[in-house]
Structure 1
Amino acid sequence: MKLTNNAKKIYETWFNSSSQLESDSSDFLEDYLNFLGDIGDKINIDEQTRLLVIVASLCVSGGAKSSFKSFVKAALNVGISAGDIKEILYQAVPYAGLGRVEDQIFLADEIFNERCIKLENMPKKSREGRGERGLEIQRKLFPAVDKFIASTPNDQRHIMEFLSQNCFGDFYARGVLSLELRELLTFVYIVTLGFAKPQLLGHIAANFGIGNDRAKLISVVTTLIPFIGYPSALNALAAINEISSSKN
Structure 2
Amino acid sequence: MQLTQKAKEIFEKFFGKTENLTLIQNDKEYFTNHINFTFGESFVKANLDKEKYFLITLASTLAVGGKIEFGILLKAAIKNEVDPIKIKEIIYQATPYIGFARVLDFLSLCNDIFKELNITLPLKSQGTTTKSNRKTKGKEIQNMIFGEVNITKMIESTPKDKSFINDFLSANCFGDYYTRNGLDLKTRELLTLVYLISLGGADNQVKAHMQGNINMSQSREDLLDIIAALIPYIGYPKALNAIVVLDSLTLKA
Give the TM-score normalised by the residue count of structure 1. 0.94
Secondary structure, aligned partner of 2:45? coil
Query: In the alignment, which of 146, 165, 168 is matched to residue 171 of structure 2?
Result: 165
The letter of the residue matching 2:12 is E
1:20-42: per-residue Cα shift (whole Å, max 9, x none)? 44341122111111111211221
Query: In the alignment, which of 47, 51, 55 is matched to residue 52 of structure 1?
Result: 55
Distance 2:59 2:25 in 1: 26
Secondary structure, aligned partner of 1:79? coil
Aligned to 2:75: 73
Distance 1:175 1:124 in 2: 6
Is residue 130 from structure 1 mapped to residue 101 from structure 2 by the alignment?
no
Distance apart, 1:239 and its partner CA: 0.3
Aligned to 1:41: 44
Distance apart, 1:196 and its partner CA: 1.7
Whether contact under 8 Å (1:6, 1:40) holds in the other structure is: no
The letter of the residue matching 2:158 is T
Distance apart, 1:176 and its partner CA: 1.4
Aligned to 1:10: 10
Distance 1:66 1:241 in 2: 33
Mark the CA change 1:116 to 1:21 in structure 2 (over 3 Å): closer, same or farther. farther
Secondary structure, aligned partner of 2:138? helix
Whether contact under 8 Å (2:127, 2:179) holds in the other structure is: no
Aligned pair count? 246
Whether contact under 8 Å (2:139, 2:175) holds in the other structure is: yes
Distance apart, 1:59 and its partner CA: 0.6
1:162-200: per-residue Cα shift (whole Å, max 9, x none)? 000111110000021111100100110000011121111
Distance 2:145 2:134 in 1: 17
Distance 1:66 1:23 in 2: 17
Distance 1:237 1:181 in 2: 20
Matched-pair identity in %? 38
Whether contact under 8 Å (1:112, 1:118) holds in the other structure is: yes
Distance 1:161 1:237 in 2: 31
Whether contact under 8 Å (2:127, 2:181) holds in the other structure is: no
1:102-141: per-residue Cα shift (whole Å, max 9, x none)? 1111111111100001143221232220000000000011
Whether contact under 8 Å (2:67, 2:106) holds in the other structure is: yes
Whether contact under 8 Å (1:55, 1:68) holds in the other structure is: yes
Whether contact under 8 Å (1:95, 1:189) holds in the other structure is: yes
